[in-house]
Structure 1
C-alpha cells in the first residue's frame, strides 16, 4: 500500500505500450519517404462511374420495357455492386524496404529489400507477384508502377538490394520487362510533349 498523497500513474506505461503496438502495425520507413499511387483516386472514380452507368442502363432498359420489378431491380443493383467490386483498384504505397497493397479484403505487405521472387502472371489482367523471404506475397498491377515513377523507383532500388543479398532468385526478367515498358512509355511521353510523335 502506498503512503497517502502518492499516486501511481499508468498513463506513461499505456502510452509506451500503444506506441510499440503502432510501431509494429505501421509500415517500415518514415512517412516522408513513402511513394503512393497518385492515380488511385481517379481509378476509384472510374470504377464507380462504370458500375453506376451499368446499373442505370439496366434499370432504364427494364423500366422502358415495362418489366421492372423489385426483384429485377435488386438483381441489377447486385450486378452493379459486383462490377464495382471487380473494378475496385488496390491502393499501392511503398517506402524504403516495403510495399503495401490495400484492397477491399485488407492490406498485404511485402519486404522489398528481402524479395525472393517477382513473377509476371498473365491472364485476364496482368499481375506482378512479389514474394519475400518471410513468406509474404503481394499482387499488383504493373500499370501502377508504369504510371507512378516514384513507386517503380522504390521497388527497383529495393529489388537491387535483394539481388545483392542473394535472396532474389527469380524475377529479374519480370523486373526488366517492367523497366523496358516504363522506358518506352516515358520516351513516348517526351516525344508527345516535344511534338516529335
Structure 2
C-alpha cells in the first residue's frame, strides 16, 4: 500500500511541477492530475489477504471475496505481466491473489495449505495439483533461503 501511495504521490508531484514550470497550471488541470494520481493508486493498491481455519479472504477497496479452502475444486496459476493464483471452491466463490502474498507470509501459507490438503484428501480438488506443487516448491525454496540468511550461510 505504501508503494501505491508513493507512486501516486510522485506522479501527482511531477505533473504539477511540470504544469507549474510551463506556466500552464490551472485549477482544472490540477484536478485532472489529482484524478489521474487517484486512478493510479486504485490500480496499484494490492488486495489484503487473510486466512483462517478453512477459508481465505481477499479485500480490495470496495469488495471482499472469500473461498473455503477445504472445499476448493480448482487452483489455477495465470501467467502474464504478474502471476496470479485463481482459487474456486465448491460453492462457486472465486478469489484471485498474487502468489507472492503466500510466499511472503508463512502463517498465511500454512493455513492455506492445510485447507488445500483437506480438499485434496476429500477428492474435491479436481484441477490444480501441478500449480500447487510448483507453489509448494517455491515456498520450500524461500523458506530454505530464509534459514540460510538467518544462520549466516548465505
Same fold (TM over 0.5): yes
Give the one of 53, 56, 71 matched to 2:13.
56
- CA-CA distance at 1:144 after TM superposition: 0.5
Give the one of 61, 64, 78 matched to 1:121.
78
Alignment of 1:101-140 (within 5 A): 101-140=58-97
Aligned to 2:118: 161
Dislocated runs of 4+, deviation >6 Å: none
Unaligned stretches of 5+ in structure 2? none
Give the Cα–Cα distance (whole angstroms) in 2 for the partners of residues 121 and 45 of structure 1: 26
| Aligned length in residues | 154
Give the one of 27, 30, 33 matched to 1:73.
30
TM normalised by structure 1 equals 0.75
Give the Cα–Cα distance (whole angstroms) in 2 for the partners of residues 115 and 181 of structure 1: 21
Alignment of 1:75-94 (within 5 A): 75-94=32-51
Unaligned stretches of 5+ in structure 1? 1-43
Deviations 1:57-95 (A, max 9, x none): 111121112121223212211110011001111111111
Aligned to 2:129: 172
- CA-CA distance at 1:136 after TM superposition: 0.5
